[in-house]
Amino acid sequence: MDYEISLLTTIAISVLFALSLNLITGFCGQISLGHAAFLGVGAYSSAMLTQAGWPFLATLPVSILLAATLGVIVGLASLRVRADFLAVTTMGVGFLFIGVVRQQEWMGGEMGIAGFPDSGLGDVGFMLLCVVLAALTAALCVFIRRTWMGRVFGGIAEDEDTMRVLGIDVPRYKLAAFAIGTALAGLAGALYSQQIKFVGPDSFGFVESITVLSMVVVGGIGSVFWVAVAAAVLTALPGWFQFIGDYKLLVYGGLLFLMMRFAPGGLAGIVESLRKPKAKPNTQAAAATKGAQP
């Protein structure tokens, strides 16, 4: 039973983390290859405050605020870059975060931080907290997508220049996407640190950023439900098939390649194409055309 509780907890945290990136990349079209850094900010802040005697639940708002603050800073620095340049910029932020953590002994340095107090909720209580927060995050994403903000995010993702011509304050909405998405990543980080009872620089590197990006791409960029499904399945796979754990990066990289090559819409696109009725040929028009040929 302990394994099932731990797996459900991990899945809930992964879903929350994937939805946080989907809000930035899927909703607003801002490519981020350093999203694990914001997960790390939330994890480190929660771990350090818990070690200092704070109740775990009291650390959650701080983790959210600090991650959102870094997200706004990164957003401000990225306003003038797009597409590939934005991806490289965010990737650099991820490397910078790891470099800073490794050099700071008060943050645990290379050894990381371990041995901080338990949440006090118990395994089942903590699992339920993670599941509820993941569900609330999904509901928030659906709500945002249906609001004016969500429509503007979609417009920016489709054609940023057109949105500027229409008088939309594009930088403002970009910053909003970064702030909300990174705040949710910080929340996921706080939960992650409490689950594994350890935070270290190797837990928030480029591999983790690619892993969460794989979840978003496989689910379908911009889709809330299918990104959550992809995050759940890809998180559970290493447990179901032990050999995948040794080739996790290879499997995720292969999925990214296959999806981008054959199904760029992800699971959401595949399901949508299956739902659409196939167009039936107009036999009368075909016969008329054939009869008109010399």
Tokens representing 164 are 């500027």
Average pLDDT on 131-155 reads 94
Residue 138: the pLDDT is 95
Residue 285: the pLDDT is 42
Question: Considering the chain, what percentage of its residues have pLDDT values greater than 70?
Answer: 89
State how far the alpha carbon of 83 is from the alpha carbons of 4, 31, 160, in Å. 40, 6, 11
243 versus 136: the higher-pLDDT residue is 136
Residue 37: the pLDDT is 92
Compute the distance between CA of residue 149 and CA of residue 169 in angstroms, rounded to an integer: 11
Confidence category of residue 278, pLDDT binned at 50, 70, 90:
low
Average pLDDT, the chain: 85
Residue 290: the pLDDT is 47
State how far the alpha carbon of 15 is from the alpha carbons of 57, 113, 143, 207, 267, in Å. 20, 25, 17, 17, 15
Confidence category of residue 280, pLDDT binned at 50, 70, 90:
low
CB 212 within 8 A of CB 36: yes
Residue 239: the pLDDT is 65
Instruction: Indicate the range of 62-66, 155-159, 188-192, 242-246 predicted with least confidence.
Output: 242-246
Average pLDDT on 198-221 reads 88
Greatest mean pLDDT among 94-108, 163-177, 272-286 lies in 163-177
Average pLDDT on 89-114 reads 84
Average pLDDT on 198-211 reads 86
pLDDT at residue 160 tops 80: yes
CB 108 within 8 A of CB 40: no
Q: Where are the domains of the chain?
A: 2-277
pLDDT at residue 30 tops 50: yes
Average pLDDT on 149-160 reads 90
Compute the distance between CA of residue 242 and CA of residue 237 in angstroms, rounded to an integer: 8
Question: Considering the chain, what percentage of its residues have pLDDT values greater than 90?
Answer: 39
Confidence category of residue 242, pLDDT binned at 50, 70, 90:
low
CATH of domain 2-277: 1.10.3470
77's CB contacts (< 8 A; 6+ apart) are: 89
pLDDT at residue 255 tops 90: no
Residue 282: the pLDDT is 52
Confidence category of residue 166, pLDDT binned at 50, 70, 90:
confident
Tell me the sheet residues that pair with 199. 113
Residue 129: the pLDDT is 95
Residue 293: the pLDDT is 44
